[in-house]
Amino acid sequence: MVTGFSIDTRTLQKNDLFVALPGEKTDGHAFLKTAFAQGASGAVVLKKMLPELAGKGSSPQAPFINLIPVSNCEEALQRIAQVHRLEYFIPAIGVTGSVGKTTTKEFLAYLLGKRFCVLSNRGNFNNHLGLPLTLLRLNSGHEVCVCELGANHAGEIDFLSGLLRPQIAVITRIAPCHLKGFGSLENIYRAKTEIFNHMTKDATVILPDDDPDLLQCTRSKKLNIIRVGESRGAEFCLDSVKHLEGVTSFRVKKKYRFSFFSPASFLARNAAMALAAAEAAGLSLADLPSQWDDYQMPQGRFEERKIGQDVRLIWDGFNASPAAFRSALEVFGQIRCAGRRGVIFADMLELGDEETRYHRELAHDLNQNKFDFILGYGQNAKTTVETLKNELAFENAHHFEQAEDVVSYLKDRIRPGDLLLLKASRGMRMEKVAEGLERLTAGNTSVGQGADSCHH
């Protein structure tokens, strides 16, 4: 009996069907013994590997059983997911865009969960492997499916939405992101609107109200359009966005006020888009709680932590596109702080030929906010730091080779009242800085009592 699917023996559960995916560093076929020892009910393997697997044999305690030979394990996983999805006639909502996909998806899953049994992506399972694994969790108890669709090249959203078959689409802000794969902002618009290829004409799409290019792309598809934002043209209006003592509140449709725990007031737009999608899916806004006290912000999305003696850090390490960086800096500059404000950042990745320009522009965004010190690591961060020091005369900016160097530098320099923003693309592993600072404060009482400045 197959009760689940797995591509990773570290998370494989008993009776999972193990899909042995070949990878750049490891090959799933090398973990078959582990998979069956943990109770796998079978495995999808490459046909060409069968003779080798038979030669190696399996242990008597965990024999290789129910081997399903295929020509391509990844395509097999996707085809199984496609068939499985079609067995369940439940509405699906796809969330895509450049900035704010995950928080919008999480807001929406939270809201729909007040009335329905919801299936949604875990974490960042939004790609050619994560989405199939998500859809394979569908069962007869689910009433609605909410999935984030991510992409870094043309055609990927088309493929993913073909698996999901959404009745409602949410497209968050489109901005320069993954330019290395897309090539241009125009191509990003084309890619994100590929979701329309698998929607019927009576389907609904939720859009930001301040993007005429995206609106133009959508109008030709004859879809039901709901624009969300603060302009007069918005069908789903957002206003009265406020932040006070760690809580963001806002109003929609001039009538309903909601709030959630986060200092990131720019997330009110994402929350409003989730509300618009929830209403389109059949929820009444009047029936939803006004205070989302039990909502958990996704880890690493403007997540506030306290370290040492009254030192706070805000970890925002999952999206560092130019647009996302700008929003984070604006809000960070408004948060009350008893001490100094410092920004620790690393490279914005996948910006292609424009990476130098965007990192130079980042220096100007940082300089406008008048922070006390700025520390960066990574190859492109060096461009930002050099621009700050040489062109903008901001002396308290320093560059390091890696995350560990930043932690060492801060060890005796942070002090009570300081507020730190940690911002970088996911691939730069900014969590190393957060974890390093937390380890220091756990084992060293001198941290948080440092020197009066962060100068060398």
pLDDT higher than 80, residue 351? yes
- Of the candidates 186, 159, 179, 152, the residue with the CA atom closest to the CA atom of residue 94: 159
CA distances from 56 to 29, 32, 43, 112, 301 (A): 11, 11, 16, 49, 46
Do residues 97 and 211 share a domain?
Answer: yes
3-state SS class at 294: coil
User: What is the DSSP secondary-structure string of 369-417?
Assistant: TT-SEEEEESHHHHHHHHHHHHTS---SEEEESSHHHHHHHHTTT--TT
Q: What pLDDT, on a 0 to 100 scale, did the predictor assign at position 442?
A: 65
- Which of 224, 255, 287 terminates a domain? The answer is 287
- The Cα 389–Cα 166 span in angstroms is 49
Do residues 23 and 170 share a domain?
Answer: no
- Host domain of residue 356: 303-443
3-state SS class at 179: helix
Do residues 349 and 424 share a domain?
Answer: yes
- Which of 47, 71, 95 terminates a domain? The answer is 71
Q: Kindly indicate the confidence band of residue 452, based on its pLDDT and cuts at 50, 70 and 90.
A: very low
pLDDT digits (tens, 9 = 90+) for 277-329: 999 999 999 999 999 999 988 887 888 888 877 889 998 877 778 888 988 99
Structural domain count of the chain: 3
- The Cα 176–Cα 206 span in angstroms is 20
User: Residue 358's domain is classified under what CATH number?
Assistant: 3.90.190.20
Q: Kindly indicate the confidence band of residue 450, based on its pLDDT and cuts at 50, 70 and 90.
A: very low
Q: What pLDDT, on a 0 to 100 scale, did the predictor assign at position 416?
A: 87
pLDDT digits (tens, 9 = 90+) for 113-139: 999 999 999 877 899 999 999 999 999
Tokens of 113: 């969960």
- Of the candidates 79, 321, 72, the residue with the CA atom closest to the CA atom of residue 182: 321
Least confident of 254-258, 292-296, 351-355, 385-389: 351-355
Q: Is residue 160 part of a domain?
A: yes
Q: What pLDDT, on a 0 to 100 scale, did the predictor assign at position 394?
A: 94
Q: What pLDDT, on a 0 to 100 scale, did the predictor assign at position 176?
A: 78
pLDDT higher than 90, residue 419? yes
Tokens of 437: 């600072």
Q: Is residue 293 part of a domain?
A: no
- The Cα 191–Cα 171 span in angstroms is 11
What mean pLDDT is predicted for residues 352-357? Answer: 88
Q: What value does the mean pLDDT of the chain take? A: 90
Instruction: Yes or no: say if 183 and 107 are a contact pair by the CB < 8 Å rule.
Output: no
pTM of the predicted protein model: 0.88
Q: Is residue 179 part of a domain?
A: yes
What mean pLDDT is predicted for residues 7-12? Answer: 94
The identity of residue 71, as a single letter, is S
User: Residue 10's domain is classified under what CATH number?
Assistant: 3.40.1390.10
Highest mean pLDDT among 54-58, 107-111, 262-266: 107-111
